[in-house]
């Protein structure tokens, strides 16, 4: 029997919590039914975005702003290929540069990629209001003295609809915002490196530098960046 939720209750995680707790537990096989009631396992790239709110975790199904899913690694990706991001009506396209997620104790714990859904065929599709943040965790079994590697068995996806007003997960409590502002610096993007800064969709990001090399590859008719770790400079 499902528990009754208090009026006004909603799932309000930070990016630190999404990766360090939820995604980490899923990767280590420690998830249980109570967690799946919030974040179910689903290949979100096979489902039309408009259908995702109806298959979200039962505790998030009534949320009108955001929905969360554990996305398993696709078979083609496990065989060394690139994941498919096309549905019957369109495709997900990466936008901007992937950025590191920094924990509140200033550790790099994962990587975030933002995507937008387009209807039609690439590359002439029509942009929609559906967006997604896909998070992958750093492999903590590898020594910190080596180049960081990502865990690919599962990613955690946050799906939402853009609007003209601030979304709930963009609005941080005042105390947290002041702390974040002191820890962050302005965004600076260079050809092969960028500085993590404060943004509405970045939680507790420190002033770390991550140098990345970029190659491109055609994926489902799109030219997409392939990001390879070159160097990690801790400030």
Write down the mean pLDDT value for the chain: 74
74 vs 190, higher pLDDT: 74
The pLDDT, as a whole number, for residue 83 is 84
- 20-26 mean pLDDT: 95
At residue 169, the pLDDT reads 52
∠ CA 214-195-73, nearest 5°, is: 50
Mean pLDDT computed over 152-156: 94
pLDDT on residue 191: 32
Question: Is 45 a residue whose pLDDT tops 90?
Answer: yes
The pLDDT > 90 percentage for the chain reads 44
CB–CB of 230/211 below 8 Å?
yes
Q: Is the pLDDT of residue 60 over 90?
A: no
- At 8, is the secondary structure helix, strand, or coil? coil
- Give the CA distances from residue 54 to residues 1, 49, 99, in Å, rounded to whole numbers and listed in that order: 20, 10, 29
3-state secondary structure of 172: coil
Q: What whole-number percentage of the chain has pLDDT above 70?
A: 64
- Among all chains, which residue has been given the structure tokens 């495709």? 91
Residue 91 binned pLDDT confidence (cut-offs 50, 70, 90): very high
179: number of CA atoms within 13 Å, CB side? Answer: 12
Residue 204: DSSP 8-state: S
Rounded-to-integer distance, Cα 57 and Cα 41, Å: 9
With a cut of 70, say whether residue 80 has pLDDT above it: yes
In whole angstroms, give the CA distance from residue 85 to residue 82. Answer: 9
pLDDT digits (tens, 9 = 90+) for 185-199: 333 333 333 333 333
pLDDT at 61: 84
The answer on pLDDT for 223 being more than 80 is: no
């Amino acid at each position: 029997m499902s528990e009754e939720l208090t009026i006004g209750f909603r799932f309000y995680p930070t990016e630190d919590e999404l990766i360090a707790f939820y995604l980490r537990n899923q990767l280590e096989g420690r998830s249980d039914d109570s967690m799946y009631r919030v974040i179910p396992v689903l290949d979100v790239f096979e489902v039309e975005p408009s259908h995702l709110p109806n298959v979200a975790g039962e505790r998030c199904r009534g949320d009108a702003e955001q929905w969360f899913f554990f996305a398993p690694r696709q078979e083609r990706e496990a065989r060394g290929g690139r994941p498919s991001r096309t549905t019957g009506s369109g495709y997900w396209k990466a936008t901007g540069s992937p950025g590191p997620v920094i924990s509140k104790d200033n550790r790099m714990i994962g990587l975030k990629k933002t995507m937008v859904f387009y209807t039609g065929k690439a590359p002439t599709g029509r942009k929609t209001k559906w967006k997604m943040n896909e998070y992958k965790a750093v492999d903590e079994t590898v020594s910190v003295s080596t180049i960081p590697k990502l865990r690919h068995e599962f990613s955690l996806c946050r799906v939402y609809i853009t609007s003209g007003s601030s979304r709930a997960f963009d609005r941080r409590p005042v105390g947290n915002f002041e702390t974040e502002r002191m820890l962050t610096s302005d965004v600076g993007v260079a050809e092969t490196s960028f500085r993590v800064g404060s943004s509405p969709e970045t939680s507790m990001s420190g002033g770390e530098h991550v140098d990345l090399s970029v190659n491109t590859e055609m994926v489902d008719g799109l030219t997409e960046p392939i990001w390879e770790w070159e160097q990690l400079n801790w400030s």
